[in-house]
Structure 1
Amino acid sequence: MGWSVSDIPDQTGRTVVVTGANSGLGAETAKALAGAGAQVILACRNTEKADRVATEIGAAATVAHLDLAHLDSVRAFADEFTGADVLINNAGVMAIPLRRTAQGFEMQIGTNHLGHFALTALVLPKITERVVTLSSMMHQIGRIDLGDLNWEKRRYSRWRAYGDSKMANLMFGKELAARLSAAGSSKVSLIAHPGYAATGLQGHSESFEDVFMNLVNKTPIPQSAAGGALPTLYAATSPDITTGTFYGPTEFFGSRGAPGRSGYSKRADDLALREGLWTVSEKLTGITFDI
């Protein structure tokens, strides 16, 4: 059967931050962690939806406002944040039309990568154990363009932009792991992906693709959001993890099943590109890491 929610070690006494925990993978992740004894902080833009999830969880859950598309909100969250054992960078948007964040970043790279990059930099001193960043199988189509990260020169492609943001998540998680290790830190950085899970992430492209994806989500092809959350939960709780490792489903070409080590595009191991992405991300956000 493989690793499941029942295998989550006792989380009593631990606190975990989950971004985007108001629905989908994030909500399932928070519920499972609380079920294992953790205190969970639901860091969400839509606090009304997050409140409903928190009510379902009970006393173990608290809600905090966090809009990753606005760096002022990221800073405000970090200022109020008192600390946690684990940070799970889960929130994201997928294949949306061209839009921009409050700071003018392309919305997908801005929310999925730059927002989480800034958040992690600001709260890392208050995280005691590990950071888990969510990527996607779609990182395979990502081709990071350091000279045009925000799609100001290229003709916009919503799926390519999504792939870029997910490649950025993978590269960030790996580079953070390398830098923490080089600094002699006991903190670890892991990356996870959900395979193909039916969540509210699909259906926001505002194109004919929404109809197709919503139909597919009603078939047995995708796994549930709870199933898609398993790699994240493994990365966040297992004592057997290795820093810098990418975890995902292990069946049906990585689209579903129990979590384990996941294959990935070796472009994520391009050290010059990873370091370049880190430098550009610090420049764009104006926020640097103290590692």
Structure 2
Amino acid sequence: MSGWSTSDIPDQTGRRVVITGANSGLGAETAKALAAAGAEVVLAVRTTAKAEPVAAEIGPKASVRRLDLADLASVRDFAEGFDGADVLINNAGVMAVPLARTADGFEMQIGTNHLGHFALTALLLPKITDRVVTLSSEVHQIGNLDLDDLNWEKRKYGRWRAYGDSKLANLMFGKELAARLGSSGSTVQSLVAHPGYAATELQGRSGNWTDRFAKLANRLPIAQSAAGGALPTLYAATSPDASSGGFYGPTEFFGMHGAPGPSRYHKRADDTVKRERLWTLSESLTSTTFGV
């Protein structure tokens, strides 16, 4: 693979990065690469025991803290003990799972992938000095948020549509945050990334026939490693060429794999009226507010 790689990560010595869901897959590879470049990394995970081996592999630059994005009380506990960082990476997520509810009654995918990260970012933003990177997906293309039924209380549940909605919400949030930070004169940037198709533990948890398809696809040339899938996140988090409001992903094979760069996205993400409505609704549901 040619183009931008981990060898292009600027020196991260003296910098601190918080990464949600860093116990495996993309998050773990992101943490390893940043620590190798000199950063201190905080692995923010639901089950700390699962992250301890990753922290042990990284060494003294890594620490582990508990964070359950499906429980706003846990998000608030994490934020209360937070003493600042240069970068927040909203990486954790669930994909195409059967209908379930978070501790606060949200549909599990929108609750974990979007609302949990929305609340976390709101609470941590005053102590972030450089960037917020939020993970979306190419599956955002099938998302079409119903803001009158965000939590799937009225509609027949569709696990893939719900996942697409959550990833569209991630993209819209990242772009709206960038716009608001820019308008407020803040120097903090908000960027969005997607991994293309990376073979990780995220696949295979749908509980239906798509699990078998995912396991097969993970063995095909369209899939890249978790380390390859982490490159767009690393680019967004560290590259001086990455711009606030930008969406970055693999640049080869229709955005499935390859070196990171600017990525196409659905025009729905540029609907500023809907972005503002999603923002207001998210603040209401999570009982959080932003200073931008």
CA distance in 1, matches of 2:213, 2:207: 12
TM norm structure 1: 0.99
Secondary structure at the counterpart of residue 119 of structure 2: helix
Who is 1:11 aligned against? 12
> Percent of aligned positions with the same letter in both sequences?
74
SS state of the match for residue 17, structure 1? strand
Amino acid at match of 1:265: H
Query: Does residue 101 of structure 2 align to residue 100 of structure 1?
Result: yes
1:211 CA displacement: 1.3
What residue in structure 2 maps to residue 235 of structure 1?
Answer: 236
The alpha carbon displacement at 1:220 in A equals 2.4
Match of 1:87 in 2: 88
CA offsets 1:176-220 (integer angstroms, 9 cap, x no match)? 000000000000000000000000000000111111211221222
SS at match of 2:149: coil
Structure 1 range deviating more: 208-217 or 119-128: 208-217
Name the CA distance, whole Å, in 1 between partners of 2:181 and 2:291.
10
Match status 1:166 vs 2:181: no
| Structure 1: distance between partners of 2:220 and 2:15 | 37
Counting only pairs closer than 5 Å after superposition, residues 1-291 of structure 1 correspond to structure 2 as 1-291=2-292
State the TM-score, normalized to the length of structure 2. 0.99
Structure 2: how far apart are the matches of 1:169 and 1:104?
19
Alpha-carbon distance in 1 for matches of 2:222, 2:164: 21
| 1:288 aligned partner, one-letter code | T
User: Alpha-carbon deviations, 1:18-67, whole Å to 9, x = none?
Assistant: 00000000000000000000000000001111111000100000000000
Aligned equivalents of 2:256, 2:214: Cα separation in 1: 15
Q: Secondary structure at the match of 1:16?
A: strand
The 3-state SS of whatever aligns with 1:18 is: strand
CA distance in 2, matches of 1:215, 1:169: 27
For the residue of structure 1 that corresponds to 2:283, the secondary structure is: helix
Q: Gaps (5+ residues) in structure 2?
A: none
Question: Which amino acid letter does the alignment assign opposite residue 135 of structure 1?
Answer: S
Question: Secondary structure of the equivalent of 1:120?
Answer: helix
Tell me whether 217-226 or 134-143 shows the greater mean CA deviation.
217-226
CA RMSD of aligned residues (A): 0.5
Per the alignment, in what secondary structure is the counterpart of residue 27 of structure 1? helix
Do the aligned residues in 1 keep the contact of 2:46 with 2:67 (CA within 8 Å)? yes
Total equivalences in the alignment: 291
